[in-house]
Amino acid sequence: MSRKFVPLFSLFLVVMLILAACGGGQSAPTPTTAPAEAPAEAPTPTEAAAEAPTAEATGEGEVVHLRFISGGPGAGLDFTMQQVEEWNANHPNIQVEVIAGPTSATDRYGLYLQTFQAQSSDIDVMEIDVIWPGDLAEHLVDLNEYGGAEAVADDFPAIVQNNTVDGRLVGLPFFTDGGLLYYRTDLLEKYGYSGPPTTWAELEEMAQAIQDGERAEGNQDFWGFVWQGKAYEGLTCDALEWIYSSGGGTIVSPDKVITINNQAAAEALDMAYNWIGKITPPGVTGFQEEESRRVWHGGNAAFMRNWPYAYSLSNGEDSAVAGKFDVTALPGKEPGMSAATLGGWQLAVSKYSQHPKEAAEFVMWLASAESQKARAINISLIPTKRSLYEDPEVIAAQPFMAKMLPVFTSAVARPSTVTAPRYNEVSNIFFTNVSDVLTGKQNGTDAVANIELDLQDLLGFEVGAP
């Protein structure tokens, strides 16, 4: 018996090793480009950390351990780990352990709900999406009790407003986000365009011309325009941009009117469907942010819709497009009708944490201007502190940020506040129907009619024009 077992077991080990090796090579979600150490001119957050009172935070010699659920593997997580190591070195009494959360925000939301349902104290600090504060407020600590009001004095008011539920500040703005159009400056020049497109029609035309040209030169993998088309929250963001920039409204208006069922919205969805197979790869219906970024990163796309995080990665050493691209506001139906979906993440403390005071102290530090500055410079995440947009070091490192400030300040919000606590279902109805359009199961007109009916049933709101 055991003699038979030895070959089996050793074989199993070998196979496992091979699998692990393959996994390391091909399936690593993001090539990390965050530098191993911050460049010399980047301010290290130690100064801020040193000022924090730690000796009185805990009893002498008692070490508080905090668990922090951060994002999925990638440059952001790597940098957060570095920052937390720094914190741990300066705060022997408050040791923070970073845990990589699921990459998909949807999965992360599920994870948080499960720990909240169990009222578990296993998680102390977490990153929450901009659409969740209303939904999760009852499980989060009011940071105003720990001096949150001063901490957010410099943040964009709209985001602070978003994170304040019934007067309770449940999350500190960590970074903000908005959809951007990435475009290849070198290819635009090569094909004789003077600047990036301002309308969807222009984008289509340019993408087609560049794609045809590049393929004729032998790059069969080249595509005009990549974006996020998988059935998930990201598709809600992309589709909201198409619709809003075509004058089709925001699905549900802030004054509780369901506005999705209109001609402009239907046409916007049909427009996106018509891109697929022409200027957009058929595989886009399975793309999340990273899949589209990989096509772009390999130099195989003329345009990409993505979040700002892709900026520094695209300038990384392993990138085929380093120095050959720029970002601008997304196109609209007419010039100037551009729209960017508001994204971004907040730091929150669980109500069930056994050390809310220490956890609050930690998030104050991680969301501070110094920390956000380091993140902006190193991994191109957009700060939520207004003062940082005038900071010369930030402007020098990320020139696009100052330029894109109007995009971030006027970003269009998903209808999460007006539909709370049912936003997740609203979004699911929306992206499922949009996904059906993209996969050819229904047309835009049917989709917006279906979405309207479903939302009426779910929310009981009035319907109207945007």
Binding site for other proteins (CB under 8 A): 4, 7-8, 11-12, 15-16, 19, 23, 26-27, 104, 106, 109-110, 113-114, 116-117, 138-139, 220-221, 229-232, 281-287, 291, 294-295, 421, 424-425, 428, 432, 435, 439, 441, 445-446, 449-450, 453-454, 457
Looking at the Cβ atoms of 123 and 401, the one nearer to other proteins is: 123
Query: Which letter does DSSP use for residue 191 in this model?
Result: T
Q: Look at residues 215, 124, 185 and name the one whose alpha carbon lies nearest to residue 328.
A: 185
Looking at the Cβ atoms of 85 and 138, the one nearer to other proteins is: 138
Looking at the Cβ atoms of 173 and 229, the one nearer to other proteins is: 229
Looking at the Cβ atoms of 295 and 340, the one nearer to other proteins is: 295
CA distance 96 to 2: 45
Angle at CA of residue 312, ends 307 and 313, nearest 5° = 85
Output the smallest distance, CB 285 to other proteins, in A: 4
CA distance 155 to 130: 14
**Total length of the chain:** 466
Looking at the Cβ atoms of 409 and 450, the one nearer to other proteins is: 450
Looking at the Cβ atoms of 297 and 385, the one nearer to other proteins is: 297
- Residues 207-234 as b or e (16 or more Cβ within 10 Å = b): bbbbbeebeeeeeeebbbbbbbbbbbbb
Output the smallest distance, CB 261 to other proteins, in A: 11
Output the smallest distance, CB 21 to other proteins, in A: 13
Contacts of 220 (CB under 8 A, 6+ apart): none
Output the smallest distance, CB 221 to other proteins, in A: 6
Output the smallest distance, CB 347 to other proteins, in A: 20
Output the smallest distance, CB 134 to other proteins, in A: 12
Strand (E) or helix (H) holding 183:
strand 180-184
CA distance 182 to 235: 17
CA distance 32 to 55: 36
What sections of 298-415 are H helices per DSSP? 310-314, 356-366, 369-379, 392-397, 399-409
The answer to whether residues 194 and 185 touch, using CB atoms and an 8 Å cutoff, is no
Output the smallest distance, CB 437 to other proteins, in A: 13
Is residue 326 helix, strand or coil? Answer: strand
| Residue 353 CB coordination number (10 Å) | 22
Residue where the block lists tokens 């091909």: 26
Looking at the Cβ atoms of 109 and 175, the one nearer to other proteins is: 109
Output the smallest distance, CB 243 to other proteins, in A: 20
Looking at the Cβ atoms of 43 and 283, the one nearer to other proteins is: 283
Residue 188 CA: distances (Å) to CA of 181, 210, 226, 270: 14, 8, 16, 26
* Residue 288 one-letter amino acid: Q
Looking at the Cβ atoms of 188 and 231, the one nearer to other proteins is: 231
Handedness of CA 254, 255, 258, 260 (dihedral sign): negative
Read off the tokens for 315.
């300038």
Read off the tokens for 232.
């998930």
Output the smallest distance, CB 8 to other proteins, in A: 4
Output the smallest distance, CB 415 to other proteins, in A: 17
Looking at the Cβ atoms of 60 and 457, the one nearer to other proteins is: 457
Which residues in 33-110 belong to E strands, given as ranges? Answer: 64-70, 94-100
Strand order in the sheet with 64-70: 94-100, 64-70, 125-129, 342-349, 172-178
Output the smallest distance, CB 421 to other proteins, in A: 8
The answer to whether residues 368 and 151 touch, using CB atoms and an 8 Å cutoff, is yes
Looking at the Cβ atoms of 190 and 441, the one nearer to other proteins is: 441
Looking at the Cβ atoms of 117 and 194, the one nearer to other proteins is: 117
Output the smallest distance, CB 256 to other proteins, in A: 20
